[in-house]
């Protein structure tokens, strides 16, 4: 049991110490320059084609969902037909 505990402790220390050695490149200045550039685009589209695609997909889903909800509200407000 003691050996198992020692092994687990050693593994946990090893993973923590190796994670802190990796340096991640700071890309914040690049993104600041991109988003602060005055190119006439709204901020939610400055990320490129991926942002434009996500924006359009969100608008389509929102429009479809609104129409779908209104349709069901209208249908549920109508009285049921008697047989």
Contact status, residue 55 vs residue 45, Cβ threshold 8 Å: yes
Residue-range definition of the domain harbouring residue 56: 42-78
Is residue 6 in a domain?
A: no
* pLDDT tens-digit series, residues 12-70: 776 555 555 668 899 999 989 988 999 998 988 898 899 999 999 999 999 999 999 99
Can you say how many angstroms the Cα of residue 51 is from the centroid of all Cα atoms in its chain? 11
Is residue 22 in a domain?
A: no
Indicate the pTM of the whole model.
0.57
Is residue 28 in a domain?
A: no
3-class secondary-structure state, position 26: coil
Specify the DSSP element, H or E, that contains 36.
helix 28-36
Instruction: Provide the domain count of the chain.
Output: 1
Is residue 36 in a domain?
A: no
* pLDDT tens-digit series, residues 58-77: 999 999 999 999 999 999 99
């Amino acid at each position: 049991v003691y050996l198992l505990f020692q092994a687990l402790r050693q593994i946990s220390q090893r993973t923590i110490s190796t994670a802190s050695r990796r340096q991640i490149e700071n890309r914040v200045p690049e993104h600041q320059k991109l988003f602060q550039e005055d190119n006439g685009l709204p901020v939610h589209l400055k990320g490129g084609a991926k942002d434009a695609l996500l924006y359009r997909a969100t608008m389509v889903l929102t429009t479809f969902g609104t129409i779908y909800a209104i349709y069901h509200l209208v249908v549920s407000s109508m009285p049921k037909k008697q047989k």
